[in-house]
Structure formats: C-alpha cells, structure tokens
C-alpha cells in the first residue's frame, strides 16, 4: 500500500541550556533508577540512584537532585522518563505538582540509542536511565501535559470500558464454543445468539434434550418468563424450528448436567457485563455533556458518543493541536518512508503512538464512510475517479477526519459539509 508523504515527520524541541541538569529515570514496578547528565550528555553523578516507588523514594530522588544542582551550580532542571505501562504516572504527577519540568521519551527512541554511548547492545536499568537522559539532553522528547479533570475522567472510563468489552468478547466466544459442541444446529435458528429469544431459550432449554418433548405453545410460554413479546408469527416459527432441530441434533450429551451449569454461569456473567457496559455508556454521556468541544464533534453525523469519548481519551483536549497531522502523529498514523540512494522504499504507517486512538480513528472513519453522506461521497470519488483501492481511500479519509476534528475545535464551529468538500477538493 502506498501513501502520499506528509511534512512534519520529526519534531525536535530545543530547550536544553547550559544551566540544565538533565535526569533520566528508568521506571519499574517497585524500584526506579535515575541518572543525571549536563546539557552535553556528560554524566554528573558518581553513580546511579535507586529509589522506591513510595513517597520516601520520591523525596530521596529530590534530595539527590538538589545535591547535584548545588554541586554543579545548575539552576534549571528537566526530568525525562518513558511512558511505559502505568508505573511512571504517579511519579510524573508528583514532580509536576512541585513545578518540575517533566518530559516523556518514546521507548523506540531509547531502544535505538542504547548503543550510542558504549557500542554495546547490553541492557540494564542504570544504562537505560542514562540513555533516557542522553536522549533528553539532545532534545528528543515531548512535554508531559496533565489534562483537565473531565478529560482524565473520560480516559479512565474508556479504559474501564475496554476491559469489560474484552471480557464480554471472551465470554461470548466461550458461549459460542458451548453451542458448537452441545447444540451445533442452534445458529440456524438464531443468527445472533444474544437476541432476547435466544437468551430466553438458553435459560429455559439449555440443551436439545429439553426441547424434544415440548410443543411450540410450551416453548413460547417459557419464553414469557424472560420477555414480553414472546409469541406472534415470529415466535411460533422460531419455536417450531428449535423443536425440529433439537429432535435431530448431533450435539454432545456427555456430562450434560455439568455443561448446563457452566452455560448458566456464562449467561449470568454475560448479562452482568451487559449491565456494566450500559452504565458505563451513561457515564460517558454525562461526562461528554460537561466537555464543550464534544457538542461540536457530535455535529459530525456518524461520530457517536463512544467514538468521541475514545478520541478524546486518547488525544486529550483537541484545542492543544494546531493541525490534524499532530493528532495523526499522536495515534501513530503519520507516514514513514525508507529511502537510500536510488532505492525508494514503500511508505507505511509508523504505528508509533496510541494504539487505541489509532484503532478508534480507523473505526470511526469506516463508520463515517458508511453513514455520513460527505465522507461517502469523498470515498466514492477516491475509488471511482482517482482509482484508489478502498483501503487507501479509508486511510486518506482518516487524515481528513483528523483535520476536520482539529479544525472544528480550533475554529469553534460545527461540521459544515460544503466547507469540508471544498477544502478536500483543493487539497487533492
């Protein structure tokens, strides 16, 4: 797949001065390791500092830094760390609360620079801390910016939702496995086993044996224990199909009582998770109502609350972005190209960014192509007139979506179809 190369691929920040003490910290679950250099990357500490992930450890770090600043007469301070996992978060906030400049380094950057100092691929916590400090001293970092409370809330809620969605998918796969083994003909009756009649069936008739001696009226009567509109022509038809398939089912009947108990537990847990996800969606709607820019994003037809919440949780306040390219970079959707002499490599997506933001921007674009008239029209032009593949068109429109979102927020305006098409045509 080929893409058009965009500008602004690497941003280098030049803020390190001769008065800076540069500290790199290698983060871990219990014990962190720090190293310190000057603006040229020369090590200033006699040995590395190990400190625990506790308030006593944080204060030990501060005393160590204060001593180095006094010894070397360095008035400014910058502390760098990798945002890997969640171990860095508490220390970064503690330092930020004290007004200390905290910056983050891409783990890929430190990985590629670990041989610069000693020409060795060896790895250790002290060396990693020194590599981080060295990378920061050369200006390759980005600032750690704490988001407003509502953006932190939406990030926490969406992280919670991802966990429960993953559990829901796992449960559904296990239930499908159960049906494949015990009642393989079931999906010919219910295409989606999560529909109300299907759930009622699995509760009342958890195996084909329970259905063999039942009439359609009996099945519908039992369904009414779990749903209001169980009968009608559709209900009679489904009940008849169930009984017919159950009478000639090839499903396994060994250890059936234990299997039925397993299914009941799975169904109970699935319904519990459904309730949790419904409550989470209500919480998302409440928080989005408190974020002004969310109402602007809602004006883009097809961009639902979950997509908006996912984008804001991964990107933060879109007002901090000057252009859509910055949002794409945040998601790892910026383009990367390998060239050397006459060789010109394929241009690919870097995938160096927030994976969840990347996923939801992609899914949102697919949804917009199917629902939103403007994006559908642009997609058809890309495929039919410009002869792009459908996948190429989707990625091109993904960049368009990023520019539209940032532009709407920066201009404090709602989505305007005419302006979107006009600007897109000019850009093309």
For residue range 79-130, list pLDDT tens digits in order: 999 987 889 999 999 999 999 999 999 887 888 887 776 666 767 778 899 9
CB count within 10 Å of CB 197 equals 22
Assign residue 344 a region (left: φ > 0; alpha: ψ between -120 and 50; beta: otherwise).
Answer: beta
338 contact partners, CB below 8 Å, separation of at least 6: 345, 346
213: Cα separation from own chain's centroid = 49
* pLDDT for the residue numbered 3: 34
What is the percentage of the chain residues whose pLDDT exceeds 70? 90
* pLDDT for the residue numbered 46: 86
* pLDDT for the residue numbered 313: 95
The whole model's pTM is what? Answer: 0.83
Which of 313, 390, 328 has the alpha carbon at shortest distance from 154? Answer: 313
C-alpha to C-alpha distance for 134 and 16, rounded to whole angstroms: 11
Q: Is the pLDDT of residue 421 over 70?
A: no
* pLDDT for the residue numbered 228: 86
* pLDDT for the residue numbered 353: 82
Q: What is the mean pLDDT of residues 254-279?
A: 96
pLDDT band at 52; cut points 50, 70, 90: very high
131 contact partners, CB below 8 Å, separation of at least 6: 24, 110, 113, 114, 116, 117
Q: What is the mean pLDDT of residues 240-245?
A: 94
Encode burial over 412-425: b for 16+ CB neighbours within 10 A, e otherwise: eeebbeeebeeebe
Read off φ and ψ for residue 412, nearest 5 degrees: 55, 55
* pLDDT for the residue numbered 150: 94
Q: Is the pLDDT of residue 378 over 80?
A: yes
* pLDDT for the residue numbered 382: 94
Which of 81, 67, 69 has the alpha carbon at shortest distance from 19? Answer: 69
Q: Is the pLDDT of residue 214 over 50?
A: yes
Mean pLDDT of all residues in the chain? 89
* pLDDT for the residue numbered 9: 34
Name which of 234-238, 341-345, 380-384 the model is least confident about. 341-345
Name which of 120-134, 291-305, 321-335 the model is least confident about. 120-134
Q: How many CA atoms lie within 13 A of 285 on its CB side?
A: 7
Name which of 16-30, 119-133, 355-369 the model is least confident about. 119-133
137 touches 41 (CB < 8 A): yes
Q: What is the mean pLDDT of residues 306-320?
A: 95
* pLDDT for the residue numbered 11: 44
Q: Pick 9 or 204 by higher pLDDT.
A: 204
C-alpha to C-alpha distance for 402 and 54, rounded to whole angstroms: 40
pLDDT one-digit tens code per residue, 146-182: 889 999 999 999 999 999 999 999 999 999 999 999 9
311 touches 354 (CB < 8 A): no
Q: Is the pLDDT of residue 48 over 60?
A: yes
Q: Is the pLDDT of residue 280 over 70?
A: yes
Q: Pick 6 or 361 by higher pLDDT.
A: 361
Q: Is the pLDDT of residue 136 over 60?
A: yes
Q: Is the pLDDT of residue 13 over 60?
A: no
């Amino acid at each position: 797949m080929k893409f058009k190369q965009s500008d602004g691929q690497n941003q280098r920040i030049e803020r390190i001065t001769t008065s800076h003490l540069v500290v790199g910290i290698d983060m871990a679950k219990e014990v962190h390791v720090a190293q310190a250099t000057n603006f040229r990357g020369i090590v200033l500490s006699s040995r590395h500092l190990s400190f625990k992930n506790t308030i006593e450890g944080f204060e030990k770090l501060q005393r160590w830094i204060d001593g180095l600043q006094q010894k070397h007469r360095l008035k400014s301070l910058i502390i760098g760390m990798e945002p890997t996992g969640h171990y860095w978060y508490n220390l970064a906030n503690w330092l930020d609360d004290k007004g200390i400049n905290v910056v983050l380094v891409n783990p890929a950057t430190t990985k590629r620079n670990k041989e610069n100092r000693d020409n060795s691929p060896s790895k250790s916590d002290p060396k990693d801390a020194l590599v981080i400090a060295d990378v920061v001293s050369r200006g390759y970092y980005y600032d750690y910016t704490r988001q407003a409370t509502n953006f932190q809330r939406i990030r926490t809620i969406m992280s919670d939702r991802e966990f429960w969605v993953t559990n829901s998918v796992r449960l559904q796969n296990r239930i499908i496995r159960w049906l494949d083994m015990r009642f393989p003909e079931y999906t010919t009756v219910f295409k989606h086993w999560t529909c109300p009649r299907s759930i009622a069936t699995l509760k009342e008739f958890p195996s084909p044996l329970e259905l063999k001696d039942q009439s359609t009226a009996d099945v519908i009567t039992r369904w009414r224990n779990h749903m209001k509109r169980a009968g009608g022509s559709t209900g009679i038809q489904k009940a008849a199909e169930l009984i017919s398939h159950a009478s000639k089912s090839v499903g396994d009947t060994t250890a059936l009582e234990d299997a039925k108990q397993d299914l009941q537990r799975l169904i109970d847990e699935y319904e519990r998770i459904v309730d949790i996800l419904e409550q989470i969606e209500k919480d998302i709607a409440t928080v989005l109502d408190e974020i002004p820019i969310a109402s602007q994003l809602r004006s883009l037809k097809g961009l639902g609350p979950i997509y908006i919440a996912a984008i804001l949780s991964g990107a933060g306040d879109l007002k901090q972005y000057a252009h859509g390219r910055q949002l794409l970079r945040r998601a790892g959707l910026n383009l990367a190209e390998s060239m050397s002499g006459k060789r010109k490599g394929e241009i690919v997506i870097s995938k160096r960014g927030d994976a969840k933001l990347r996923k939801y921007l992609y899914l949102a674009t697919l949804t917009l192509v199917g629902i939103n008239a403007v994006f559908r029209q642009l997609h058809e032009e890309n495929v039919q007139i410009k002869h792009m593949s459908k996948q190429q068109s989707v990625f091109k429109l993904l960049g368009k979506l990023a520019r539209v979102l940032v532009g709407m927020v920066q201009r404090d305006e709602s989505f305007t179809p005419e302006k979107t098409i006009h600007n897109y045509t000019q850009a093309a």
